[in-house]
A = this chain, B = another copy of it.
Amino acid sequence: MAQEPSNDLFSKVTKTAGKHSPLEEAIRKLPLPVTSVFLGKDGKIRPAVFRETGMTLVCKGHERIAEVFPKTIAKSRSIILEAIPRGEAAPVRGKRVGVLFSGGPAAGGHNVLAGLSAALNGDNELFGIRKGPKGLINADVFQIRPHDIQTILNLGGFDFLGTDRTKIKTPEQFEKVKETVLKNKLDGLVIVGGDDSNTNAAFIAEYFETEGVNCCVIGIPKTIDGDMAAGNYLPISFGFDTATKIFSELVGNLNQDAASAVKYYHVVKLMGRTASKITLEVALQTKPAVTLISEEIAEKDMSLGQIVDYIVHIITERRKIGINHGVILVPEGLVEFIPEMKRLIGELNTVLAEYEKDVKDLPTLQNKQEFIYPHLSPPSAQVMASLPDEIQEMLILDRDDHGNVKVSQIETEKLLIEKIRYRISEMKRHPDKFFGEGGDRIEATAQQIADFQKLSLSTQSHFLGYEGRSSKPTRFDAAFTFLLGLTAGSLVLAGKTGYMAAVTNFDKGGRILALPLAGLVTSEMRKGKEEFVIEKSLVKLDSPSFTVFAENRERWAMQDLFSSPGAIQYWGPTSRQIPLIVALDQGYADFGTFNLGEEREIKID
């Protein structure tokens, strides 16, 4: 080689492989806070025990739910439990606890394992179930050694166990789960997942009670979307803080880029299948020019055209004051919240199910369109016809296993860009129709209109998602998940089943709760079939977080008051923030520093 290195830097760089980057090495050593209920008098971590609170948890249609979960509801009486220090009680020994990840990764999963391991405390054994629910069915189980936990402490991803999205539904699958539990003599099963996985956990708990399987089932609330939450009992799920901080970093950078290059509108779609909580948090963090919130659009019954008008209106008003750049945030789940689009998709699902073979047999997209249009209602046909061909093609051809439109695949950001471009070019050609007085017209001077006609609109589309799921957890998520693990471990040792571990009071040292899973489940009719689901926690339009956003968004847009909150910090003055929507909606005094107990070095052995 040209320059023979005169030092050992080669080997230093080589040694950073396999998760030994300088940050990974340093982060493993970060201390974690521990809520006082988990501390013995000797200051060591130990499992907590539980007492009943005066609070119960039931969902709408509880009578129906009580029929489906008779055993676990009889046992819990829907009462929320609260952790208290174990005190003088003898430690529980000899229990075997299995744990699995389910669904998409979220930051902090590995600290759930660390918390579990710390609760089991060497007196009990922890088993990992590989590749999610599929591993539970296939009995893909191995013992987790404390040493392994130390290597993944505070690191991101779900890769220590892997994950998958198998839904446990059939009697055969339940039978297999039972076999795995019996074969491995598991006294506890901890399922780390979102709403579907926790619904599954509720069913498995009930099934074990019915079958006399002596294994406690505990759920842990995970989802970057933040829609697995229960008000003051559980302000948020884990992974939300990290994902929104990553997205806010990137959106903040794009804000700064837009203002620097002074020519682009960056249109950013943000992961979040249903709720717009991610988008709301990112908007509060970054103050972009335009933010769409699905829940508001549904509430106001806005059409696609009205959404485009809203965006174009802001772009035009900004142009009038010389700003021809900015950031537009679009929640991933938007399309299903636009009433006319939802209707269209519903009709398409019906038509395509009924005429599946006919549609398949028609050779070209155009043939398929000609066949389908007459089967739609006129309003839906008009909406369909207004969509770009690629989107129509996707709606017709890209179906999931149940024959439904894959809504998450729709490139909403590109659809909006195309519609915005059409509208702006129309405005340039027919300024008299859009500017002037009366109706929805935009007030503008002749000079402003002339300026508008001269400027071009440059757009860049982005989709932020996967980058945010597997990041190293923020200090907040690292602490939150360690406590969730301690809670789940304590619940199993206390012989509790059918609960979800929960942490609240992030500003006051942490309060540890156990929420009866069946109390979270509700019954819904979907396509004439009853489905049991944990209701997703959506953005509430009367919440403090939405209110701050709604009160400020026009000012942000018209004064270009963006912020760029920057990369997640693990050290320094900004490393302990609480998500803004949590701090606002929980009524905390500040968002700058969480308080979940005293910090201590974590040694798992």
Q: Quick check: which of A16-24, A44-52, A334-342, A594-602 contacts chain B, the rest being far away?
A: A16-24
Establish whether residues B542 and A5, one from each chain, have CB atoms under 8 Å apart when the complex forms: no
Establish whether residues B470 and A563, one from each chain, have CB atoms under 8 Å apart when the complex forms: no
Q: Which residues, 156 to 199 on A, are CB-close (under 8 Å) to B?
A: 156-159, 162-164
CA distance A472 to B266 in the complex (A): 18
Establish whether residues A565 and B22, one from each chain, have CB atoms under 8 Å apart when the complex forms: yes
A1-14: CB near B (< 8 Å → 1, else 0) gives: 11101111110111
Establish whether residues A590 and B9, one from each chain, have CB atoms under 8 Å apart when the complex forms: yes
A460-498: CB near B (< 8 Å → 1, else 0) gives: 101000111111100000000000000000000000000
Establish whether residues B567 and A260, one from each chain, have CB atoms under 8 Å apart when the complex forms: no
Q: Which of B21, B104, B131, B592 contacts A564 (CB 8 A)?
A: B21
Q: Which residues of B contact A574 (CB under 8 A)?
A: 22-23, 26
Establish whether residues B104 and A261, one from each chain, have CB atoms under 8 Å apart when the complex forms: yes
The answer to whether A320 has its CB under 8 Å from any CB of chain B is no
Establish whether residues A543 and B1, one from each chain, have CB atoms under 8 Å apart when the complex forms: yes
Q: Which of B1, B17, B285, B566 contacts A563 (CB 8 A)?
A: B17
The answer to whether A604 has its CB under 8 Å from any CB of chain B is no
Establish whether residues A256 and B584, one from each chain, have CB atoms under 8 Å apart when the complex forms: no
CA distance A389 to B84 in the complex (A): 65
Q: Which residues of B contact A23 (CB under 8 A)?
A: 565-567, 569, 574
Q: Which of B1, B26, B544, B592 contacts A547 (CB 8 A)?
A: B1
The answer to whether A528 has its CB under 8 Å from any CB of chain B is no
CA distance A556 to B564 in the complex (A): 35
Q: Which of B156, B542, B552 contacts A253 (CB 8 A)?
A: B156
* Contact A544-B3, Cβ < 8 Å, known A19-B563, A26-B574, A159-B260: yes
Known: A16-B565, A163-B261, A472-B564. 17 other contacts (CB 8 A): A2-B543, A2-B544, A3-B543, A7-B589, A9-B584, A9-B589, A18-B287, A22-B573, A22-B574, A23-B567, A131-B262, A156-B253, A157-B256, A157-B260, A472-B566, A570-B572, A572-B572
